[in-house]
């Protein structure tokens, strides 16, 4: 009987409500498919910060390193600045564990209402592959002439050959597993003329290794427009840290609900644990009310099982989500229903 060690970090806000439901469904899957999840809970959050002055203890990463995967809720709270909360917990994990792929499926599931007119599930089914360690999220730069009229700030975007190539390779490999075998690159080489042409260059070089994969590329401005006007054009979309971030919020919005969107922060070489978290944030406006949507968290759990090799269990969770949505099962307010978080979680666990 296989045992997986899972580090559980509910984090802030609705993370504390969605993670228990995620675990409920994971537990059901473990029982049905015959494996064990050995959970270690970490209460690292903005509350930890307010108590201790740190989002996580100094040896936080070392503790997490022992686990097979990390199951995260959400990080951030209004009374703690983002550069402390996110850069004290989320970003250090992504970087420290070289989770250089942020993978986000965008699918219109049957039974979900999309804000787009006349779109059906077969029209929206793609992945956003986001570079997750470098690019626009750099720590190089600063401020000069502070407090004067001459004041200015700078921040460098940094793209390394290694960093770009490995995420592009992941995108092409992913496309090879899909029937349409297509990769779209997000660029902006007409405006951001030093880094983005390099991205294009590496994309073209990588494409030569995959003659079976069709490719195209769009500047990020028109690509966002195409997500709305032609979501059916896309199969695998690869972008930098910032562009991937934008596209992987826009994609789920187009597919109906950010509340159900999952994500995986992956270290493909498995030298370090990967981390699974919903796309949504801590949602202070609805936190503590038991009304948030747990599906993004549950689906993230399915991605975790897939990554751990429990493919059948992952599929069962996904089928449970699809069935619940398609067959009018309980749904939370963001999806036009009245159900509470736990009610949806229970229904999914039972279905599994």
CB of 86 to ligand IPM, least distance (A): 4
Scan residues 177-196 and list those touching ligand IPM (CB under 6 A).
190-191
Is 188 known to be catalytic?
yes
Q: Choose from ligand IPM, a second copy, none: what does 189 bind? Cβ within 5-8 Å by kind.
A: a second copy
C-alpha–C-alpha distance, residues 123 and 255, integer Å:
9
Q: Which residues pair with 125 in a beta bridge?
A: 107
What are all long-range contacts of 315-322, with beta carbons under 8 Å and residues at least 24 apart?
316/29, 316/32, 316/33, 316/352, 317/25, 317/26, 317/29, 317/348, 317/352, 319/351, 320/25, 320/348, 320/351, 320/352, 321/109, 321/260, 321/295, 321/348, 322/109, 322/110
Query: Measured at the alpha carbon of residue 45, what is the angle toward residues 42 and 51, in degrees to the nearest 5?
Result: 105
Is 245 known to be catalytic?
yes
- Residue closer to a second copy, measured from CB, 29 or 254: 254
Q: Is 195 in the site for a second copy (CB under 8 A)?
A: yes
Active-site choice (42, 188, 235, 346): 188
Q: Choose from ligand IPM, a second copy, none: what does 83 bind? Cβ within 5-8 Å by kind.
A: a second copy
Q: Is 152 in the site for a second copy (CB under 8 A)?
A: yes
Q: Is 36 in the site for a second copy (CB under 8 A)?
A: no
- Residue closer to ligand IPM, measured from CB, 132 or 215: 132
HSE-CB of 159 using CA atoms within 13 angstroms: 24
Q: Is 102 in the site for a second copy (CB under 8 A)?
A: no
Per-position x/- string for 293-312, each x denoting binding to ligand IPM as judged by CB under 6 A, each - no binding:
--------------------
C-alpha–C-alpha distance, residues 96 and 99, integer Å:
8
Scan residues 245-264 and list those touching ligand IPM (CB under 6 A).
245
CB of 87 to ligand IPM, least distance (A): 8
CB of 102 to ligand IPM, least distance (A): 7
Q: Which residues contact 175 (CB under 8 A, 6 or more apart)?
A: 181, 182, 183, 210, 213, 235, 236
Instruction: Compute the residue count for the chain.
Output: 352
State which of residues 204, 205, 228, 326 lies at the interface with a second copy (CB under 8 A).
Answer: 228
CB of 221 to a second copy, least distance (A): 4
**209 and 201 in contact (C-beta within 8 Å)?**
no
Smallest CA-to-CA distance from 22 within 256, 272, 276, 273 is with 276
Q: Is 134 in the site for ligand IPM (CB under 6 A)?
A: no
Q: Is 86 in the site for ligand IPM (CB under 6 A)?
A: yes
CB of 252 to a second copy, least distance (A): 7
Is 79 known to be catalytic?
no
State which of residues 36, 43, 62, 82 lies at the interface with a second copy (CB under 8 A).
Answer: 82
Q: Is 221 in the site for a second copy (CB under 8 A)?
A: yes
Is 216 known to be catalytic?
no
Ramachandran region of residue 104, left (φ > 0), alpha (ψ -120 to 50) or beta? Answer: beta
**236-239, strands of its sheet edge to edge:** 35-41, 2-11, 69-74, 274-278, 262-266, 101-107, 125-131, 236-239, 182-187, 214-219
CB of 228 to ligand IPM, least distance (A): 17
CB of 128 to ligand IPM, least distance (A): 10
Is 221 known to be catalytic?
yes
C-alpha–C-alpha distance, residues 183 and 234, integer Å:
8
C-alpha–C-alpha distance, residues 275 and 103, integer Å:
11
Strand 125-131 and strand 101-107: the pairing is: antiparallel
The residue of the chain with the least Cβ separation from ligand IPM equals 191
- Contacts with a second copy by CB under 8 A lie at 76, 82-83, 86-87, 114-118, 136-137, 139-143, 148-162, 188-195, 197-198, 220-222, 224-226, 228-229, 241-242, 245-246, 248-250, 252-254, 258
Active site residues: 137, 188, 221, 245, 249
């Amino acid at each position: 009987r296989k045992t997986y060690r899972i580090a559980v970090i509910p984090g802030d806000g609705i993370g504390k409500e969605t993670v228990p439901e995620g675990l409920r469904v994971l537990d059901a899957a473990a029982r049905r498919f015959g494996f064990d999840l050995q959970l270690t809970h970490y209460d690292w959050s903005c509350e930890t910060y307010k108590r201790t002055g740190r989002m996580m203890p100094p040896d936080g990463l070392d503790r997490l390193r022992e686990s097979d995967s990390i199951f995260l809720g959400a990080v951030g709270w209004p009374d703690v600045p983002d550069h402390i909360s996110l850069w004290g917990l989320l970003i250090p994990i992504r970087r420290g564990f070289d989770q250089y792929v942020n993978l986000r499926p965008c699918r219109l599931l049957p039974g979900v209402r999309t804000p787009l007119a006349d779109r059906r599930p077969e029209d929206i089914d793609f992945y956003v592959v986001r570079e997750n360690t470098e690019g626009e999220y750099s720590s190089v730069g600063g401020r000069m002439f502070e407090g004067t009229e001459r004041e200015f700030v700078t921040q460098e975007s940094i793209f390394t050959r290694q960093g770009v190539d490995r995420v592009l390779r992941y995108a092409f490999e992913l496309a090879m597993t899909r029937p349409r075998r297509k990769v779209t690159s997000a660029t902006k080489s007409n405006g951001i003329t030093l880094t983005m042409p390099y991205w294009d260059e590496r994309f073209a070089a990588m494409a030569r290794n995959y003659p079976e994969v069709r490719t195209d590329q769009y500047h990020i401005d028109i690509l966002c427009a195409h997500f709305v006007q032609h979501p059916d054009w896309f199969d695998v979309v690869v972008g930098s840290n910032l562009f991937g971030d934008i596209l992987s919020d826009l994609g789920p919005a187009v597919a109906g609900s950010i509340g159900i969107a999952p994500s995986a922060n992956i270290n493909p070489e498995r030298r370090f644990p990967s981390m699974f978290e919903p796309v949504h944030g801590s949602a202070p406006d609805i936190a503590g009310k038991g009304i948030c949507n747990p599906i993004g968290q549950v689906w993230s759990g399915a991605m975790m099982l897939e990554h751990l090799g429990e493919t059948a269990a992952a599929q069962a969770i996904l089928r449970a989500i699809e069935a619940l949505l398609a067959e009018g099962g309980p749904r939370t307010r963001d999806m036009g229903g009245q159900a509470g978080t736990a009610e949806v979680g229970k229904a999914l666990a039972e279905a599994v």
